[in-house]
Structure 1
Amino acid sequence: METRFLGSKTKRFYFNNGAEDVSYVVIYGDELQVEPLEDNVAESYRTAIYRGRTGKIASNTTLLKKRSLEFYFLDIGQGDASFTVTPDNIKILVDGGLKDRALGFLIWKYRLDQPDTSVVIDHLFLSHADKDHIEGLAPLLSHPKITVKHIYHNGIGLFSEGHNTELGTVQDERLVTLHDTVEDLSGQKLKDSFKTWIDAVSTSDATYKRVDASDGYLPIGDASVQLEILGPTLEQDNTLKWFNGKSHTINGHSLIFRMDYGHVRTFFSGDLNIEGSEHLLSIPGNTLKVNAHIFKAPHHGSHEFSQDLLNHVNPMVTVVSSGETPDHGHPRAVFLGGLGLAGRGRMPLIFSTELSALFIDAGDVEAQVHSDSEVTTLDDLDFSNSTSNSEARQRFKKVLPGIINVRTDGERIYAFRRVQMGYQWESYELKYNDL
């Protein structure tokens, strides 16, 4: 069998599920194993394997030898989590959201319910340490089938005491308390959610490093993809500007970056707010650096956004990560309107993980996944055995419609969302220079 990747927007994959013949719609960039076509054999279909299922696909299907750049913007409720796979199969996780959905995604995608399966996350970026970005990362770090190699953060911790703010000591409108390594936090009184995260980092084998705009381009192990750190930006005395409050400061100094592949640029903006955006754009050259075709929108579509930033990004495809619980009113109507004004090309697209999601409550999960137990969250499962991973995988499948899939070959951009269970898709194909 040969590993190939779908080269058209969508295609049908046919298989038998044991009771009947059914089909899935595979989307651009999806990985398949296929039997080589023999010369001079005019077969209508060829044998293929898709996500562990053996079936068939039309022989005239366009298949590529090279992986695309894949983005998965996860439905994790109110919070942020996204997953990237580069053409050289480098895996990048950005934030982890609340609870356990990022972990559930990895269990589902890499079939961690099966024997002899595992996954390596090459790079984990924590945009900032707010609970809706960090809480889901600790269980992921401790999973026996997941290895995280490198962790990057913005240097801002959360403290329960010992400083004049929750973020550390502020002097002369500057945040002077920044950490690089775990050891820098030794002896400090940390807030519970941040302490849980740091404890998990300490017991993992991952490196842990603070980065800022002075780091510039960060080598990720795939020469075809350039990743440039755009923020936070340190002051000359290696401090961070205080943005008139805890939430404004930690959000405004999110770890943000742009990822370039061919002609296509993608901007991950963390929880950038008005102050952070103005600070970012005040630095010479940054109005061009934030320009991007694919845009992970800031702060779940909050009303605290900079229209100037949106205009300079000028996105073709925007993804807003938000959820119904807790209800913060995201994405705000004024933010969606601002994205409409700032959109690029003939058909700018705006996706929301909340609008795409299929919500089920814990009672439904218990009934459908493990009816004779008290399991209500992934945290209750023992991930050391395949049975629990199987339960987690089945639970995660219930929220698959919330994932926004965006893929590019460096010239064309493909965007997808599931419109219902059963592998049906809303799908789009754009070109980077469509005007």
Structure 2
Amino acid sequence: MDVPAIMPLLEAMGRVGASTVDHLILSHADNDHIKGAAALMAHDEVAVKALWANPDSTKLSEAFIDLLTVAADRHKRGLIDVRTNLNVGANGALDCGRIGVRILHPGILWAGVGPAKGKHPVGSITSNGMSAVVRIELDGSPAVLLPGDLDAKGFAEMQRVGVDMTAPVLVFPHHGGRSGAADNREFARELAIAVQPDLVIFSHGRSSFLNPRKEIVDGIRDALGSKVQIACTQVSRACHASSLPASTSGQSGIYSRFACAGSLSITATSRGISWSPGVRRHSVTVDSLESPMCRTRELDADHRMLQIEKE
């Protein structure tokens, strides 16, 4: 789901020996979620069978137009299916054997309206608010929640219709940036309560903004305390403003040496969901940072005990 850059995805596919993408899902049309998608579809050694994306006439970026142009060309040549109905009405069409891909948002009403300005009867809907929220399931049990750039209004709509968002792993929306809510801390607290994750991942770039925002991390802690592990793919400038320590490693950010937890691998076992790198390996990097937001000494001690129990 989402392709901000093609190389990390190709490397991940190479590690597991994959050369086919059955369903390429794009949560919404922001550049940092789609920039590598056109190149992936056109790649000689990768077969993308189906593209799932919602229309968005508010997006005029070159990356979005390139994406649509490549998709149209490959569809014309019979090389790819293109679906522009990434909403709850498509549930069941994305499942692959034991793996379920459940679309939780947008619902039919919002999907029919699309991004809209304030004068619309349903009110304003931003591209972020329309961002597809997808839950990966294994044998019917929730595993990972992928909410794209879901904003406060989109989350409120999900709550209004009573969507079950629970999952042991949450990739936090909008890279841990502003949510569009009056109170970002309260937004994060309510989302954490709704999802009840054991692990929260912030997928972000070190060079972009100061994500995750401190009030977002604080909101997660308000809701879940020390029982939740927090991990960033790259070292946030809010955690370490100076040059990076030599201990930073991992896959995500490997070219720029910006990785913190790096690329995380989520695994389903008989004992539930586990992930790598675990707390102890992640702590090697975190211990060297100036002011890591993901934990305190007390929280780290709790996490080490939790990880030992899981292992």
TM-score by length of 1: 0.52
Residue 273 of structure 1 is matched in structure 2 by: 151
Mapping for residues 40-59 of structure 1, pairs under 5 Å: none
Greater C-alpha Rg: 1
Residue 264 of structure 2 is matched in structure 1 by: 404
Counterpart CA distance in 2 for 1:101 and 1:134 is 13
Q: 2:276 aligns with which of 391, 405, 416?
A: 416
Residue 199 of structure 2 is matched in structure 1 by: 317
Task: Compute the displacement of 1:152 (Å).
Answer: 1.1
Counterpart CA distance in 2 for 1:237 and 1:405 is 31
Counterpart CA distance in 2 for 1:355 and 1:248 is 32
Residue 296 of structure 1 is matched in structure 2 by: 171
Counterpart CA distance in 2 for 1:236 and 1:255 is 11
Judging changes above 3 Å, is the alpha-carbon distance between structure 1 residues 248 and 396 closer, same or farther for their aligned structure 2 residues? farther
Task: Compute the displacement of 1:105 (Å).
Answer: 2.3
The AA in structure 1 aligned to 2:213 is R
Identity %: 23
The AA in structure 2 aligned to 1:128 is H
Please tell me whether residue 350 in structure 1 is matched to residue 230 in structure 2: yes
Counterpart CA distance in 1 for 2:100 and 2:111 is 29
Residue 341 of structure 1 is matched in structure 2 by: 222
Counterpart CA distance in 2 for 1:232 and 1:270 is 12
Counterpart CA distance in 2 for 1:110 and 1:310 is 31
Are the aligned partners of 2:87 and 2:111 in contact in 1 as well (CA < 8 Å)? no
Are the aligned partners of 1:405 and 1:416 in contact in 2 as well (CA < 8 Å)? yes
Judging changes above 3 Å, is the alpha-carbon distance between structure 1 residues 220 and 404 closer, same or farther for their aligned structure 2 residues? same
Are the aligned partners of 2:205 and 2:236 in contact in 1 as well (CA < 8 Å)? no
Count of aligned residue pairs for this structure pair = 253
Task: Compute the displacement of 1:314 (Å).
Answer: 1.3
Counterpart CA distance in 1 for 2:126 and 2:104 is 16
Mapping for residues 255-266 of structure 1, pairs under 5 Å: 255-262=132-139, 263-266=141-144
Q: 2:11 aligns with which of 105, 108, 112?
A: 105
Judging changes above 3 Å, is the alpha-carbon distance between structure 1 residues 122 and 312 closer, same or farther for their aligned structure 2 residues? same
Structure 1 residues 172-228: Cα deviation after superposition (integer angstroms, max 9, x where no partner): xxxxxxxxxxxxxxxxxx531211111222343221112212233334221x22222
- When you count helix as a share of all residues, which structure comes out higher? 2
Are the aligned partners of 2:135 and 2:142 in contact in 1 as well (CA < 8 Å)? no
Are the aligned partners of 2:110 and 2:130 in contact in 1 as well (CA < 8 Å)? no
Task: Compute the displacement of 1:274 (Å).
Answer: 0.8
Gaps of 5+ in 2: 238-253, 286-303
Gaps of 5+ in 1: 1-93, 112-117, 158-165, 168-189, 358-394
Judging changes above 3 Å, is the alpha-carbon distance between structure 1 residues 430 and 249 closer, same or farther for their aligned structure 2 residues? farther
Structure 1 residues 364-421: Cα deviation after superposition (integer angstroms, max 9, x where no partner): xxxxxxxxxxxxxxxxxxxxxxxxxxxxxxx869677621222122642222236589
Residue 35 of structure 2 is matched in structure 1 by: 135
Task: Compute the displacement of 1:270 (Å).
Answer: 0.8
Task: Compute the displacement of 1:308 (Å).
Answer: 2.0
Task: Compute the displacement of 1:156 (Å).
Answer: 2.1
The AA in structure 2 aligned to 1:267 is L
Task: Compute the displacement of 1:355 (Å).
Answer: 2.4
Counterpart CA distance in 2 for 1:243 and 1:291 is 30
State the SS of the aligned residue for 2:126.
helix
Task: Compute the displacement of 1:271 (Å).
Answer: 0.4
Task: Compute the displacement of 1:430 (Å).
Answer: 6.6
Task: Compute the displacement of 1:318 (Å).
Answer: 1.1
Task: Compute the displacement of 1:244 (Å).
Answer: 4.9
Q: 2:212 aligns with which of 331, 337, 340?
A: 331
Judging changes above 3 Å, is the alpha-carbon distance between structure 1 residues 323 and 354 closer, same or farther for their aligned structure 2 residues? same
Counterpart CA distance in 2 for 1:280 and 1:122 is 27
Task: Compute the displacement of 1:296 (Å).
Answer: 1.2
Mapping for residues 364-383 of structure 1, pairs under 5 Å: none
Counterpart CA distance in 1 for 2:110 and 2:30 is 26
TM-score by length of 2: 0.70
- When you count strand as a share of all residues, which structure comes out higher? 1
Counterpart CA distance in 1 for 2:55 and 2:229 is 33
Are the aligned partners of 1:218 and 1:229 in contact in 2 as well (CA < 8 Å)? no
Residue 66 of structure 2 is matched in structure 1 by: 196
Judging changes above 3 Å, is the alpha-carbon distance between structure 1 residues 309 and 107 closer, same or farther for their aligned structure 2 residues? closer
Counterpart CA distance in 2 for 1:318 and 1:237 is 27
The AA in structure 2 aligned to 1:329 is L
Are the aligned partners of 1:233 and 1:253 in contact in 2 as well (CA < 8 Å)? no
The AA in structure 1 aligned to 2:99 is V
Structure 1 residues 308-359: Cα deviation after superposition (integer angstroms, max 9, x where no partner): 222111111111111122x321100111111222338x731111111299xx
Are the aligned partners of 1:310 and 1:342 in contact in 2 as well (CA < 8 Å)? yes
Judging changes above 3 Å, is the alpha-carbon distance between structure 1 residues 328 and 148 closer, same or farther for their aligned structure 2 residues? same
